[in-house]
Chain A
Amino acid sequence: GENVEQHPSTLSVQEGDSAVIKCTYSDSASNYFPWYKQELGKRPQLIIDIRSNVGEKKDQRIAVTLNKTAKHFSLHITETQPEDSAVYFCAAFGNEKLTFGTGTRLTIIP
């Protein structure tokens, strides 16, 4: 089955700086890659996603890049703000299943 690895597990950045979270996947048939944000005590919510026919997607301060050849994708958050503090999960969809990474706890230091 699919295996998704996510790094780093924790990340602290100064407010205003950029944050990058990286994921790799194993199944070359995977074709959909969402990112979810989970605030403390809340449910995961989709923040951005990318499909396999696209290399990059941007939504305001958030961007995702996909390298299908290397089987990795990354989340980039620019101009970080305190409300960006949360746990972020990457995921890969293939063979009717969505497999999540183990999560990155992002802390924004004021």
Chain B
Amino acid sequence: EAQVTQNPRYLITVTGKKLTVTCSQNMNHEYMSWYRQDPGLGLRQIYYSMNVEVTDKGDVPEGYKVSRKEKRNFPLILESPSPNQTSLYFCASSHGTGAHYEQYFGPGTRLTVT
């Protein structure tokens, strides 16, 4: 089954404790990206990747890191989480090297930073 998976689905952590949210897709998609969803703000892009070893900042990259060492995986790293990073996070992928194709979203990761 074609899908995007994220882990963990729910995470409660404390300020400053490094964490990684994994994202994996099995559709051989070139393009992958991370979004955060906050009430009243919609979906805002954090980082995106057009292919292996190619990543770039989205609209809200501060406090986040990503890597794309393999085509199928695109982990999101929070080196020192803060309470303002409490949010619902979605990973997405699409074929082609851009977001001008259908984005397939993962199930979401709800992160709470205390």
Contact = CB atoms under 8 A, between A and B. Distances in A.
Nearest to A45: B105
A99 B98 CA distance: 13
Given A96-B98, A97-B59, A43 B45 contact: no
Secondary structure at the A interface, as helix, strand, loop or mixed, is strand
Interface in B11-43: 33, 35, 40-43
Contact of B43 (A31, A32, A51, A100): A100
A9 B42 CA distance: 11
Given A99-B45, A100-B42, A101-B42, A43 B107 contact: yes
Contact of A43 (B50, B56, B98, B108): B108
B42 A103 contact: yes
Contact of A97 (B48, B103, B108): B48
Contacts of A99: 45, 59
Contacts of A1: 59
A25 interface: no
Closest 6 CB pairs between A and B?
A98-B99, A32-B100, A43-B105, A102-B42, A100-B43, A100-B42
Interface of A: 1, 6, 9, 31-32, 34, 36, 43-46, 49, 51, 89, 91, 93, 96-103
Given A45-B105, A96-B98, A97-B58, 17 more contacts: A1-B59, A6-B42, A9-B40, A34-B102, A36-B103, A43-B105, A43-B107, A43-B108, A44-B105, A46-B102, A89-B43, A91-B43, A93-B100, A96-B99, A97-B99, A100-B43, A101-B42
